[in-house]
Amino acid sequence: MAKDQSSKVFIDGEAGTTGLQIRDRLAGLDGVEVISIDSALRKNESARKEMMREADAIILCLPDDAARDSVALADSLGEDSPRIIDASTAHRTAEDWVYGFAELFKGQADRIAGARKVANPGCYPTGAIALLRPLIDAGIMPADFSVTVNAVSGYTGGGKSMIADYEKGTASAFQLYGLTLHHKHVPELELYSGLTRRPIFVPSVGNFAQGMLVSVPLHLADLNGSPKPADIEAAYGAHYSNAHSSVRLVDTATLNGRIEPQALNGTDDMELFVFADDALGQAILVARLDNLGKGAAGAAVQNLKLMVGFSS
């Protein structure tokens, strides 16, 4: 669809945190008309089906099972079925869906632009994949490398119950979770990073609403060719030089070995950092993003722009 044509977008689940963020971002976007269902009819299948029939694209901001049902409803429209962006976990590793991370590798933005069904990435995997995929593609990190991913998110990524606990002041200031080692984001993290060995993923949440840090510690001598920190930075620079990239490498020289998670709140960008000591042969790779921006709503809008013909 050309940029000068209006596209109708239906956000199925627009009353949730991600849905509201997406709606806010689309409000100022020329050429996109958000169509909404009466709140009393949100669970009415016939009304939702007619809304889907009217839409050029739908964005699903629903729990996994509800998202699957919504996709089935859209598919039942046949030739009138809209294009779909699913922000749930339901389809992120499905073979017939395109993964909605435009910076994944060269040509991924074009695949998203031509796709009928796009799975929006999870917030944690977005940061981890951004750090790992360029190193695996460049041959610096073996695909079977033993990787640990540590991450901390603002509490808005934890769903209604967690948000309520923090806003009431009843939640702890900081907590690790996912310690069963079966966090739902691990399959997509492993698949799209290019790893062939399941990574260890240690998520956590802090007492702040938005923001995220994802970090990967490394012994450089364990990587192929014992790379220097500059080699890692060069791999990132080459990987994220494409026109669709909202990812940028940041110089760590003036940061005094510290970084906080909220600097990108309200943006759809992601920053990468290589904290390293060449003499020690150690590095800590860090991605910073807004868990509701590039980690959710921002990615959905980026994908929508590609799908309806916007250049950026």
In 3D space, the residue among 147, 103, 78 whose CA is nearest the CA of residue 240 turns out to be 103
199 close to 141: Cβ distance less than 8 angstroms: no
Residue 289 has a pLDDT of: 98
* pLDDT tens string 183-222: 999 999 999 999 999 999 999 999 999 999 999 999 999 9
3-state SS, one letter per residue, for the chain: CCCCCCEEEEEECCCCHHHHHHHHHHHCCCCEEEECCCHHHCCCHHHHHHHHHHCCEEEECCCHHHHHHHHHHHHCCHHHCCEEEECCCCCCCCCCCEECCCCCCCCHHHHHHHCCEEECCCHHHHHHHHHHHHHHHCCCCCCCCCCEEEEEEEHHHHHHHHHHHHHHCCCCCEEECCCCCCCCCHHHHHHHHCCCCCCEEEEEEECCCCCEEEEEEEEHHHCCCCCCHHHHHHHHHHHCCCCCCCEEEECCCCCCCCCCCCCCCCCCCEEEEEEEECCCCEEEEEEEECCCHHHHHHHHHHHHHHHHCCCC
* pLDDT tens string 234-259: 999 999 987 668 999 999 999 999 99
Looking at per-residue confidence, does 31 or 53 come out higher?
Answer: 53
Q: Say yes or no: domain 7-121+296-308 is CATH 3.90.1150.10.
A: no
Q: Say yes or no: domain 123-291 is CATH 3.30.360.10.
A: yes
Q: pLDDT class for 282, splitting at 50, 70, 90? A: very high
Q: What is the mean pLDDT of residues 1-12?
A: 75
Cα-atom radius of gyration of the chain, to the nearest Å? 20
* Domain spans in the chain, listed from the N-terminal domain onward: 7-121+296-308, 123-291
157 close to 218: Cβ distance less than 8 angstroms: no
Of the residues 123, 129, 301, 306, only one is catalytic, namely 123
Q: pLDDT class for 1, splitting at 50, 70, 90? A: very low
The model scores a pTM over 0.85: yes
- Active-site annotation holds for 61: no
Looking at every residue in the chain, the average pLDDT score rounds to 94
Residue 3 has pLDDT above 50, yes or no: no
Beta bridge partners of 289: 212, 270
* Percent with pLDDT over 90 in the chain: 87
